[in-house]
Amino acid sequence: MANRLSAPAPLVRVDDWAREWTVEEVFGVEPDLLGDDRLARALDAIAPHLDKLVDTTGAQAIAEFGIDVSRIHRDMTSMSLFVAYENQDEQVPQVKYGHPKDSRVDLKQIQAGLAVSGDGGIPLFHRVYDGGAGEVAQVVGAMNALRKMAAPRDFLLIADSKLVSHSNVTALLDAKVAFIAPAPAAKVPDEVYAALNLEDARVVA
């Protein structure tokens, strides 16, 4: 049985996007001057400095707007791609086969991690990762970047079960970063769940 694919999203022209999102009013750039090639050149120019730009922008937003970073939510996602992506630049994250969120194991992918503030869901930090990178191995790097950005404030890191590994938990405890994450269901014996008393559970914010 053939795979059922959803219809592709409609293409959006860069100038139309810029017009809708008030690029001219904010940056003083006329939308008609923007096109795919110019956008690509701009992305190529900032690529070597991207991590620094992301980190300093998040830190500046915290300072400028008083964003409460006492609770930070982090997760990763994957984007499946349909092109072969041969002769990739080895200096950037690689398009590879991995464990896609959309279950399209027949496609290569790239991954992204994003951390947002509990206060308004403001994006504070993001990174792009190889398509084959394991999620569990990206937690400590993200945690250290967030500590630097939020300092001297303490924060609670909320993530999914990929946070839970011996090395990650040890690093978080050593750094005195509080965290909440669900235990991977496959690693918890059935009798533990069976012994839980729902009447003893309490709701948390």
- Say what percent of the chain tops pLDDT 70: 95
For the beta sheet containing 156-158, the strands, ordered from the edge strand earlier in sequence to the opposite edge, are: 123-129, 108-117, 71-81, 156-158, 178-180
The owner of tokens 């930090």 is 125
Lowest mean pLDDT among 10-14, 23-27, 99-103, 201-205: 10-14
- The answer on pLDDT for 2 being more than 50 is no
**160-198 b/e (C-beta count within 10 Å ≥ 16 → b):** eebbbbeebeebbeeeebebebeeeeeeeeeeeeeeeee
Average pLDDT over residues 24-52: 89
Q: What is the DSSP string of 1-40?
A: -PPP-PPPPPP--HHHHHHHTTHHHHH---GGG--HHHHH
Peptide bond into 123 cis (omega under 30): no
Structural domains in the chain plus CATH codes: 12-66 (no CATH), 70-85+92-194 (3.90.350.10)
pLDDT of residue 10: 67
Regarding predicted confidence, which is higher, 51 or 41? 41
Angle at which helices 50-65 and 139-150 pack, to 10 degrees?
40
Q: Which of 145, 14, 166, 138 is nearest to 76 (CA)?
A: 138
Average pLDDT over residues 72-84: 93
Note the pLDDT tens digit of each residue in 119-147.
999 999 999 999 999 999 999 999 999 99
The C-alpha atoms of residue 190 and residue 105 are separated, in whole angstroms, by: 30
Q: What is the DSSP string of 72-89?
A: EEEEEEEEEE-S---S--
- The answer on pLDDT for 71 being more than 90 is yes
- pTM (2 decimals)? 0.76
Note the pLDDT tens digit of each residue in 133-187.
999 999 999 999 999 988 889 999 999 999 999 999 999 999 999 999 998 888 8
- The answer on pLDDT for 1 being more than 70 is no
- Token digits of residue 84: 């072969």
Note the pLDDT tens digit of each residue in 81-131.
988 888 898 888 999 999 999 999 999 999 999 999 999 999 999 999 999
The C-alpha atoms of residue 42 and residue 191 are separated, in whole angstroms, by: 56
- The answer on pLDDT for 6 being more than 60 is no
Average pLDDT of the chain to the nearest whole number: 89
Angle at which helices 139-150 and 166-174 pack, to 10 degrees?
20
